[in-house]
Structure 1
Amino acid sequence: MRLRYFLLAGALLALPARAQTVPALPATDQVRLEAIYRLTFRTDSTAPATRSDIMRLQIGSKMSRFESLNAVRGDSLVESAFKTAETQATGSGSNKTIDMGKIDIGAFRTSFREIIFKIPAAKQLVFRDRIGLGKFAYAEPLDRLAWTILPTTAAIAGYNCQRATTTYAGRHWEAWFTREVPVPEGPYKFYGLPGLIVKLADTGASYTYELARLRQLPAPVPMKVPEENAKSVSKAEFLAGKATDARAGLEQMLANGNIRFKTPEEETAFRQKARERAKRPTNPIELK
């Protein structure tokens, strides 16, 4: 497994820079509008059971940022744990490890680790995510969606909304947008309607985003821009790498001893659950 990870990450990292041009993110921006969406989704395409997550869309004057709030909170916990471990290691001379028993990661479980930036001036979006322990990014045209705006209207979440449809990555989508909030934004990669998307769902009932809260920030808040560099790759290369081994990064952390368990039985159970999850049918938001 470790060799497999290094072959995968090494192959992606060795790609020439010309393989994909990813626009640079604006160095700074201020969040002026924040939309919180509740995402209901099916992880198994063969079963009706659903899960949910809370997604955040931050809108500034130069770009927007979309991500899972659980990912944000979970990353904050892990970052704090790493800092604590680093401080303790510096003082004691021991190795830096994380005691998983002291981190309630389960409270912030998410299936979505990606961060999506939409940059209107560049007419592109930037998709950032991890493969194993590596950070990668690819770009897509912001205007790639062909929307059909229909006359149907409805009141949703307290807003007067209008229906629109489109097709993206193998799924047919129905959106309800409101002209009362005249920004061309929406969840995930969806963009380009004459108003904020209030509700978005695919016709197969696998993914549904519903606006839970919208607020105009009373004072400017800096939008967080990733400090670490991500390797630029094409979308096809990224998807191929992601599909090769979703567990590679976890296995590598286990092999390095960065994750510590209280007992051997706890580690065995953890690994068994990971193997079982890997065997389940998947239902990605993008089918092609």
Structure 2
Amino acid sequence: MKSFVFTIACCLVSLCTQAQEIIDTVQVRVQYRATYKHTQEQKETFDDTNLLDIGKHASRFYSQRFEQFLQLRDSVECTTQDPMNKLQFLAGMYGSKKGREYEVYKHIPQKGTLTYTDALHNDFFFCYEEAIPTFAWELAEGDTLIIGYPCHKAVCHFRGRTWTAWYTLDLPFDNGPWKLGGLPGLILAASESQQEFSFVATGIEQLRQTTTLVFRPKRYERLTAKQFQRLLQDYWKDQWNTTNRLQGSGYSEPPKAQRSFNACLMDVYE
């Protein structure tokens, strides 16, 4: 009986939290196949399923897999007090199975603002805000067809990477995967020159007025973009001590078998 009451309480808290933080109504959802690297030492790219939810005033870009991971993990935590069940669940979702942790909100908390969120070690949530970037796109020769839409080519250099994007005038949204935007149509594909990150649209749908765009600001610790970049670099160089520091347990000697890596950053803040 106690377990049942605890489960109901968790669900009620979750519902109340969502009800208080509805930002917009989603009108269009674009699905992308994404490839990415966590570290420069990683030989092959991981793949993920990303969604871009476009509302009347704002948008959200996120990993469908990580969204499902968090929902399942919260369900496990609400329905059992046995720590072994949680460990077994996390072991089953290890590595790329749970998708990328970051999300990009555009025009949140206000018009012209981009909010970037990320999670380290599944449990530590951070965010930073910046003005929606300006991209110096150069229109290039070339066209292609992506999920039935004619697309045009554009190239730009942005914070250390050269991006090639394919956008369609048939969908006049100033938006795209990740932070990308600034073209006269929706970006349906984008890749950077080192082939460490890419996005290709695999589907698009109009949604009914029942799907909402939600942001939960109280979940995140706020940093600057440079602070988060440094934290991400520290995490991959020394996951053991960085995680201990985030947990508030201080630094300790890492296991001898621990390896050090260099974070593969999508954009670099000097």
Q: Secondary structure at the match of 2:201?
A: strand
Give me the identity figure in percent.
Answer: 21
**Contact residue 70 and residue 108 of structure 1 kept, 8 A:** no
When structure 1 is superposed on structure 2, of 57-66 and 117-126 the one drifting more is 117-126
Aligned to 1:140: 130
Aligned to 2:100: 112
- Correspondence list, 1:223-238, <5 A: 223-226=213-216, 228-238=218-228
Question: What CA deviation, in whole Å up to 9, does each residue of 1:192-231 have, x standing for no partner?
Answer: 1111111100011111100011111134311122152433
Q: Does the C-alpha gap of structure 1 residues 109 and 102 become closer, same or farther in structure 2, counting only changes over 3 Å? A: closer
Q: Give the AA of the match of 1:105.
A: M
**Contact residue 85 and residue 97 of structure 1 kept, 8 A:** no
**Contact residue 164 and residue 190 of structure 2 kept, 8 A:** yes
- Kindly state the Cα deviation for residue 54 of structure 1 after the two structures are TM-superposed: 0.9
- Correspondence list, 1:1-288, <5 A: 27-45=22-40, 48-86=43-81, 98-102=85-89, 104-106=92-94, 109-110=97-98, 112-119=100-107, 122-131=111-120, 133-226=123-216, 228-246=218-236, 247=239, 251=244, 275-276=258-259, 279-288=260-269
Q: Does the C-alpha gap of structure 1 residues 113 and 244 become closer, same or farther in structure 2, counting only changes over 3 Å? A: same
Q: Secondary structure at the match of 2:156?
A: strand
Q: Which runs of 5+ in 1 are unaligned?
A: 1-25, 89-95, 257-270
**Contact residue 233 and residue 262 of structure 2 kept, 8 A:** no
Q: Give the AA of the match of 1:119.
A: H
**Contact residue 22 and residue 213 of structure 2 kept, 8 A:** no
**Contact residue 116 and residue 129 of structure 2 kept, 8 A:** yes
Q: Give the AA of the match of 2:106.
A: K
**Contact residue 235 and residue 243 of structure 2 kept, 8 A:** no
Question: What CA deviation, in whole Å up to 9, does each residue of 1:115-144 have, x standing for no partner?
Answer: 210008621200122356543321122142
Higher relative contact order (CA 8 A, sep 6+): 1
Q: TM-score, normalised by structure 1?
A: 0.72
**Contact residue 153 and residue 167 of structure 2 kept, 8 A:** yes
Q: Secondary structure at the match of 2:135?
A: coil
Q: Secondary structure at the match of 1:49?
A: coil
When structure 1 is superposed on structure 2, of 161-170 and 217-226 the one drifting more is 217-226
**Contact residue 22 and residue 214 of structure 2 kept, 8 A:** no
**Contact residue 169 and residue 287 of structure 1 kept, 8 A:** yes
Structure 2: distance between partners of 1:232 and 1:44: 24
- Kindly state the Cα deviation for residue 100 of structure 1 after the two structures are TM-superposed: 1.9
Matched residue count: 239
- Kindly state the Cα deviation for residue 44 of structure 1 after the two structures are TM-superposed: 4.8
Q: Does the C-alpha gap of structure 1 residues 99 and 112 become closer, same or farther in structure 2, counting only changes over 3 Å? A: closer
Q: Secondary structure at the match of 1:205?
A: coil
Question: What CA deviation, in whole Å up to 9, does each residue of 1:4-26 have, x standing for no partner?
Answer: xxxxxxxxxxxxxxxxxxxxxx8
Structure 1: distance between partners of 2:220 and 2:113: 16
Structure 2: distance between partners of 1:39 and 1:230: 24
Q: Does the C-alpha gap of structure 1 residues 64 and 106 become closer, same or farther in structure 2, counting only changes over 3 Å? A: same
When structure 1 is superposed on structure 2, of 98-107 and 213-222 the one drifting more is 98-107
**Contact residue 133 and residue 179 of structure 2 kept, 8 A:** no
Question: What CA deviation, in whole Å up to 9, does each residue of 1:84-114 have, x standing for no partner?
Answer: 125x7xxxxxxx6753224532497246212
Q: Does the C-alpha gap of structure 1 residues 107 and 48 become closer, same or farther in structure 2, counting only changes over 3 Å? A: closer
Q: Which runs of 5+ in 2 are unaligned?
A: 1-20, 250-254
Structure 1: distance between partners of 2:225 and 2:247: 28
Q: TM-score, normalised by structure 2?
A: 0.76
Q: Does the C-alpha gap of structure 1 residues 209 and 79 become closer, same or farther in structure 2, counting only changes over 3 Å? A: same
Output the aligned Cα RMSD: 3.1
Structure 1: distance between partners of 2:180 and 2:187: 8
Question: What CA deviation, in whole Å up to 9, does each residue of 1:229-276 have, x standing for no partner?
Answer: 4333221122122322353675579999xxxxxxxxxxxxxx888x34
